[in-house]
């Protein structure tokens, strides 16, 4: 390759990397794997150095994304660098060799940590108060997202230690796997495009303009480094982690100190097997020289420190034949293309289907039936097609094209401005009817025990119900002929349907399945408008005055109740005796006002739901995760990791009996 050819290749590589950065950071829709990205960057760096083609604006000279215009920009006092990546043990040994050459006879150890797959952030505390939260940005400057950072329950607003007057903390914001799946399910039900993986959902959430919306995202945080002005030759990465924990900041428990690179490699091998058991994603191991005093000696490049490196695990991928593309109709009419795969083993499970998300995504990756495709698990849970192995194979069919009609009912498909998904607007489309009834009967909605997917399918197929309102006209003799439906089970189902009439208004409102109206929004609407009649007559302006309601939700609510079919269904539900008025608060006292509880384990005399109700009845509130903001952990038998975390943060742990005494004013 001569210099002219090298210039052409460098331009190609830079263009690919810039597009990948935009897709990763701005659009949260990556189109190449981390390993492919690193290999592309390595090739670019090699060509630039070999032919003297380095420029200040090259991707090889920058860290991460550029700061945006949507937030104020802040200058980092110390550059927030990214880490060099390696994918094999030889590179780790080479890193160890370079460290030893630079440090000579100086004794040192390695700190070994998990590498979290999320979004890097910087926190600043002054006199123990949080004053700034920022993104890493380009390493030199980042976005001021302080108000969004404050919504993360793991982030203490005030520290609990006697540390220095100014504390600069680096951390990684992330989402746990199950929380990510629930978020994507909610987004799909609400008509939004699902996120590609937990990392992108976290990064995208932190850049939202409304902190109230950020607070509804299940973002968590691990602190992993401290930047201190004072010089201390005894300071280590291990001692900084201890200081972070003592201040009430969340740190990962999986932290080890090693004397040799061989010990490090043993830990790498261990976690390559164990990483699937973690509740969050880790894509590798970070290895740091443990002693802070050697950081300056070891130095840095323009992008990365020479005293640390990350070992990246290979992604769980597999190649298989994609036999066909089918279309799935969602509860709200969204059409999702699905890859029907030749069964393949991936991360311990057999994968037969994978979401293709939407038509645009299929065209971008040029996926066609009969292709051999690479499948990966996003968040190690959701299978997705990453790329095509054989795009140049002879005899490929024409590119995929979304049909003009719904595959289930034949109605014309439509695509609204600003959306990527096609929709079927026929409310009586069978899959939509089925999914709406399943949602209506679900645990968080009307909680109709015994009305699972199989029973709903039979009821719809038999023509016994067309909408969820029809459930309340069913009789035992109607459902007895259904498969596996004996007299007792039929009676139990009818009783469960009858009991659901007593569900509170907020749950009925959630059960209606209004687009963008989840549990929290339904609760806010019920509290604000009190009755269904008042809510139905509210215009968008009145709705938008409600906490948590923006223009999109307000428009959706008005459109739902403006639809004559929906009005008729609601009238049928009224006649069936459902609750369409919010009950007045029956709060017994304010004894727990301002107190936040987390529940764990099995309580002696109450279920968790009953305990939550008791706490709320006396003015308290409950959350799902322990943080420095938690006032009490209510623990029963078989308490798990929440108990350990509460103890590490100094959160008081109480029993059910002590909760009673707390309510009665006998303990503090």
Are residues 88 and 25 part of one domain?
A: no
Domain boundaries, position 48: 3-61
CATH number at residue 655: 3.40.50.10190
Are residues 379 and 464 part of one domain?
A: no
Q: Model pTM?
A: 0.59
Establish if 423 belongs to a structural domain: no
Establish if 306 belongs to a structural domain: yes
Catalytic residue among 115, 207, 642, 645: 115
How many whole angstroms separate alpha carbon 225 and alpha carbon 124?
A: 12
Residue 475's Cβ-count burial label (10 Å; 0-12, 13-18, 19+) is exposed
The pLDDT value recorded for residue 440 is 96
Strand partners, 291: 236
Are residues 326 and 299 part of one domain?
A: no
Establish if 586 belongs to a structural domain: no
Instruction: Report whether 549 contacts 524 (CB < 8 A).
Output: yes
Window from 32-41, 254-263, 386-395, 589-598 with minimum mean pLDDT: 32-41
Q: What is the DSSP string of 622-653?
A: EESS--TT--EEEE-BT--HHHHHHHHHT--E
CATH number at residue 43: 1.10.287.610
pLDDT of 422-445, one tens digit each? 999 998 899 999 999 999 999 889
Is the model's pLDDT at 58 over the cut of 90?
A: no
Establish if 67 belongs to a structural domain: no
Are residues 564 and 551 part of one domain?
A: yes
How many whole angstroms separate alpha carbon 97 and alpha carbon 101?
A: 6
Are residues 45 and 136 part of one domain?
A: no
pLDDT of 542-595, one tens digit each? 998 876 688 888 999 999 999 999 999 999 999 999 999 987 656 678 889 888
* Higher local confidence (pLDDT), 518 or 90: 90
Establish if 580 belongs to a structural domain: no
How many whole angstroms separate alpha carbon 517 and alpha carbon 525?
A: 9
Return the structure tokens found at 517.
């109206």
Establish if 409 belongs to a structural domain: no
Are residues 544 and 627 part of one domain?
A: no
CATH number at residue 569: 1.10.150.20
Establish if 585 belongs to a structural domain: no
Are residues 244 and 344 part of one domain?
A: no
- Which domain-ending residue is among 544, 575, 606? 575
CATH number at residue 217: 3.30.470.30
Strand order of the β-sheet with 596-600 is 621-623, 596-600, 632-635, 653-654
Instruction: Report whether 666 contacts 648 (CB < 8 A).
Output: no
Establish if 518 belongs to a structural domain: yes
Are residues 150 and 163 part of one domain?
A: yes
Are residues 560 and 615 part of one domain?
A: no
Are residues 358 and 288 part of one domain?
A: no
The pLDDT value recorded for residue 26 is 55
How many whole angstroms separate alpha carbon 57 and alpha carbon 60?
A: 8
- Which domain-ending residue is among 297, 312, 327? 312
Are residues 189 and 236 part of one domain?
A: yes
What's the number of domains the chain is made of?
5
Are residues 263 and 244 part of one domain?
A: yes
For the question of residue 115 being annotated catalytic, the response is yes
């Amino acid at each position: 390759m001569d210099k002219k050819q090298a210039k052409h290749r460098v331009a190609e590589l830079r263009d690919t990397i810039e597009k990948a950065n935009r897709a990763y950071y701005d659009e949260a829709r990556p189109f190449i794997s981390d390993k492919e990205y690193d290999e592309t960057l390595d090739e670019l760096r090699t060509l630039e150095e070999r032919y003297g083609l380095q420029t200040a604006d090259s991707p090889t000279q920058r860290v991460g994304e550029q700061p945006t215009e949507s937030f104020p920009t802040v200058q980092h006092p110390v550059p927030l660098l990214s880490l060099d990546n390696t994918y094999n043990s030889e590179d780790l040994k080479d890193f160890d060799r370079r460290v030893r050459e630079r440090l000579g006879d100086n004794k040192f150890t390695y700190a070994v940590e998990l590498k979290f797959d999320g979004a890097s952030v910087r926190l600043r505390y002054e006199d123990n108060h949080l004053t700034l939260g920022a993104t890493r940005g380009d390493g030199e400057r980042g976005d001021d997202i302080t108000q969004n950072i404050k919504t993360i329950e793991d982030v203490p607003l005030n520290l609990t230690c006697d540390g220095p007057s100014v504390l600069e903390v680096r951390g990684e914001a992330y989402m746990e796997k199950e929380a990510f799946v629930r978020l994507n399910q909610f987004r799909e039900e609400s008509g939004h495009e699902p996120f590609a993986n937990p990392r992108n959902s976290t990064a995208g959430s932190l850049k939202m303009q409304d902190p109230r919306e950020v607070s509804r995202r299940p973002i968590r945080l691990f602190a992993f480094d401290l930047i201190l002005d004072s010089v201390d030759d005894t300071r280590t990465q291990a001692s900084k982690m201890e200081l972070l924990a003592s201040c009430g900041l969340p740190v990962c428990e999986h932290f080890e100190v090693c004397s040799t690179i061989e010990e490090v490699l043993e830990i790498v091998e261990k976690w390559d097997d164990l990483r699937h058991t973690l509740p969050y994603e880790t894509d590798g191991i970070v290895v740091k020289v443990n002693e802070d005093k050697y950081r300056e000696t070891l130095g840095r490049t323009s992008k990365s420190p020479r005293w640390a490196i990350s070992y990246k695990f290979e992604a769980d991928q597999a190649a298989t034949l994609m036999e066909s593309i089918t279309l799935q109709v969602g509860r709200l009419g969204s059409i999702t293309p699905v890859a029907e795969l030749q069964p393949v083993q991936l991360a311990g499970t057999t994968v037969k289907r994978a979401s293709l998300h939407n038509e645009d995504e299929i065209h971008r990756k040029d996926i066609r039936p009969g292709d051999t495709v690479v499948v990966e698990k996003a968040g190690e849970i959701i299978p997705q097609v990453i790329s095509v192995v054989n795009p140049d194979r002879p005899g490929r069919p024409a590119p995929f094209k979304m049909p003009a009609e719904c595959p289930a009912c034949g109605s014309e498909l439509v695509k609204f401005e600003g959306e990527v998904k096609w929709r079927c607007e026929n409310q009586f489309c069978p899959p939509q009817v089925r999914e709406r009834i399943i949602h209506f009967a679900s645990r968080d909605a009307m909680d109709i025990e015994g009305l699972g997917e199989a029973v709903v399918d039979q009821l719809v197929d038999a023509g016994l119900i067309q909408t969820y309102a029809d459930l309340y006209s069913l009789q035992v003799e109607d459902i007895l002929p259904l498969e596996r439906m004996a007299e007792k089970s039929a009676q139990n189902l009818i009783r469960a349907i009858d009991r659901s009439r007593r569900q509170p208004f907020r749950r009925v409102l959630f059960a209606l399945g209004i687009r963008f109206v989840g549990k929290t929004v339904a609760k806010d609407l019920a509290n604000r408008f009190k009755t269904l009649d008042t809510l139905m007559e509210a215009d968008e302006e009145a709705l938008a005055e409600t906490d948590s309601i923006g223009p999109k939700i307000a428009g959706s609510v008005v459109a739902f109740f403006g639809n004559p079919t929906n009005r008729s269904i609601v009238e049928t539900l009224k006649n069936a005796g459902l609750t369409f008025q919010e009950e007045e608060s029956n709060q017994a006292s304010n004894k727990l006002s301002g107190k936040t509880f987390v529940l764990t384990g099995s309580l002696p005399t109450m279920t968790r739901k009953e305990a939550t109700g008791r706490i709320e009845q006396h003015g308290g509130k409950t959350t799902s995760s322990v943080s420095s903001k938690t006032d009490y952990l209510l623990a029963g038998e078989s308490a798990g990791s929440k108990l350990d975390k509460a103890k590490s943060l100094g959160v008081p742990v109480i029993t059910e009996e002590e909760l009673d005494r707390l309510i009665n004013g006998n303990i503090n």
